[in-house]
Structure 1
Amino acid sequence: MDDGRHWPIQVFGTCGPRMRDEIGQMVEADHAASASAQDACGHQSQSVYGQFYAGISERFAEFGKLPGAVLMRPGRAPYPMPVVNGVALYLRARFP
């Protein structure tokens, strides 16, 4: 098994490689949609693009439909978080 498939299988189970591929596609699609919405609105603030995390949370919720996965709402968060193979999936912002 190549290194690209071993980690996602170990962490997320048999659906791991599929998730690895789909996460990249989801992030790319939501980024493009958010950037287009930001451009279309003409606002100087970045508040429209700032809704990216709401959109990606909605996209990630699809993983809650996988076998053995559940959707959980962390605390009072306004979004559900998929937990697959006991591992919560969320997108963490990284700042330089």
Structure 2
Amino acid sequence: MHEADYTGIPTTDRFSDQFYADGITADVVKQVVKAHEHDTETLEFMCHPAFIDETMLSLTSYSDYRIKELTFLTSDEVQEALKSVGAEVVSFKEVMK
């Protein structure tokens, strides 16, 4: 049980930090979901998608990956990958139920 569960803070059942840098792929998404298909209802992927401007470029070295994440997360490819393993994107409202 998560510490957040004890404090009443809504949280997902599982968290993955594998969707990062070179891990921004449909295969990684499917592998992580499949690894937890029997032990979780909700799974959060750490991600940092963003539109990049001059300020963002000056603040982070992760800019190229942020663009890659945004492009992937808004693509049909990610929806197809999730559907192929029986998963779907939900809003945080679903986690709070």
Task: Give me the TM-score of the superposition, normalised by structure 1.
Answer: 0.25
Higher helix share: 1
Task: Give me the TM-score of the superposition, normalised by structure 2.
Answer: 0.25
Higher relative contact order (CA 8 A, sep 6+): 2
Higher strand share: 1
